[in-house]
Amino acid sequence: MSISEYGSSRSEGIVVHPRGGHPVGRKGDGATQRRAPVLSERVLMDMAVVVELALVVLAGLLARQIYIVGHLELATPLFDYLPPLVAVVPLMYWVFREYRLFPPTSGEALTRSVAAIAGALILTFALLVVAGYLVGIVDYYSRAWAVLWLVLSIVAVSVSRALLCQVISMLAEEGHMARRVAVIGAGDRLGGVERQLLEGGRPARQNVVARCDLDADGASQADVVGELIAFGQRERMDRIVVATDGLARERITEVVDRLSVLPVEIVLASGNIAPGMPVRAATQNGDLTLLEVQRRPLADHGVWLKALEDYVLGALACLVFAPVMALCALAIRLESPGPIFFKQRRHGYNHALITVWKFRTMRVMEDGPVIRQASKDDDRVTRVGRFLRRTSLDELPQLINVMRGEMSLVGPRPHAIAHNELYSRMLRRYANRHRVKPGITGLAQINGFRGPTDDPELMRMRVLYDLEYIDNWSIWLDLRILIATPFVGFVNRNAF
């Protein structure tokens, strides 16, 4: 057995999670265990920044209510206090960034003394007073109100930092902050890299779930890498560390290339790197240098932005297209016998099987190992179906897949399983398309690559566009694709 439990060696066909984990299941059984979702530390820290900026603004409002309204009993309009309340936000952000108080971290920065926070806030308010003096409004505001605002801000931010420490510790204890890491390499170097990962970083933040020896007795490199890929498709995995010492550069290239089908971060431990392999970032984990050669797609804020886009715009699309979908369903029902919807199994995110919904456009319902693609003047296509296919209205039911979380509005188009398996063998990096959820439309579609997939060269171009989309994803790219789709993505001469 080439994948073993942390701190032990197992020879059975079972992968066991370290230190109190649960069995994954025998290889090939498709078992999947529910795991605590990992929370991005960067997202949490950015949220903390927003909260602290908001607390300072709220402290100013509270100080006004206590001193101006309560003590002086003045009915000064709230609007008059907006200039300092708005101006303090960029000033505080700049000062805290300069003093490395923004963004907070889950380590030492979270336990900074009240004096450090107070000093940064005093400087912020001093700059605010200078700005008010320069624009000639400083005399409009009570000094006592400003002092009370400063004191309340110091208290609010200090308490916020203390609570954030507690929240991070609680989440770490429950496993929400721990990244699941696999280590792969050859020989004795594996154990050393594993120890450095746990000792140089924070064990509460990462959990080595698999150790894969490429030189294990009785196992070929292809078997070991294939076993790790199967494990990564069954279980959540966040990072793969390749221990490069002792590996020829050709082997490193081959291992990384095969593992790139997984939606994980891939890093090389040490400086042994193959020529032409891109290094996206370098980090230090204790004495261990980690070179990032593949980023996890849609990491940090991207996960939340993509989900927000899918569910909000997907719900709106369901409402807007509901009458159109009803008319399509009625036309299908009136023209030919059979179900309204056609359901076909396809591969989704990380090669998981999903059932994709479409309006039925043919008199047959093919979903087997051999599927004949539609061709021009295909007698299997109904008259209504021909119109639906040419206008891509047959794809509208996939909004159901979007709302179920199986697909996205934008992403690589999913293909039938038979075609997926065929092109996975024919085209290098074809399977890398499954590092994100499949989409109703995508970058390839708005560039004219849609319709039949029987031409390997056309499919190769689709794959290039799909991989370009994955590597360069942004919310703005998604919006551009969505806007272009009705004009160049839905109605296309290649569709029939």
Which string of DSSP letters, residue by residue, matches 82-102?
HHHHHHHHHHHHHHHHHTT-S
Residue 175 to residue 39: CA distance in whole angstroms: 9
Region of 377 (left: φ > 0; alpha: ψ -120 to 50; beta: rest) is left
Check if the beta carbon of residue 311 is closer than 8 Å to that of residue 383.
no
User: For residues 124, 129, 133 and 135, what is the CA-based torsion angle, rounded to 10 degrees?
Assistant: 60
Nearest to 225 by CA among 189, 188, 262: 262
On average, the pLDDT of the chain sits at 84
pTM (2 decimals)? 0.81
pLDDT digits (tens, 9 = 90+) for 52-98: 999 999 999 999 999 999 999 888 899 999 999 999 999 999 999 99
Residues in contact with 392: Cβ distance below 8 Å, sequence separation at least 6, in sequence order: 450, 489, 490, 491, 492, 495
3-state SS track over 338-357:
CCCEEEEEEECHHHCEEEEE
Beta-carbon contacts of 428 under 8 Å, excluding residues fewer than 6 positions away, are 257
SS3 194: helix
The continuous run of DSSP H or E covering 241 comes out as: strand 239-243
> Per-residue pLDDT tens for 98-154?
998 887 765 544 555 788 999 999 999 999 999 999 999 998 999 999 999 999 999
Q: Nearest CA to 41 among 137, 167, 184?
A: 167
Confidence of residue 200 (pLDDT cuts 50, 70, 90): low
165-173 long-range Cβ contacts below 8 angstroms, 24+ apart: 165/106, 165/110, 165/111, 168/41, 168/44, 168/106, 168/110, 171/39, 172/106, 172/204, 172/205, 173/204
Could you tell me which residue, 437 or 41, shows the higher pLDDT?
437
Q: Which residues contact 223 (CB under 8 A, 6 or more apart)?
A: 2
Gap between the Cα atoms of 430 and 467, Å rounded: 9
The letter for the amino acid at 155 is: V
Neighbours of 287 (CB within 10 A): 8
Q: How many CB atoms lie within 10 A of CB 201?
A: 18
Q: Express each pLDDT in 409-426 by its tens digit.
A: 999 999 888 888 888 888
Chain segment 259-314, per-residue pLDDT in tens: 999 999 999 987 666 667 888 888 888 788 899 999 999 888 899 999 999 999 99
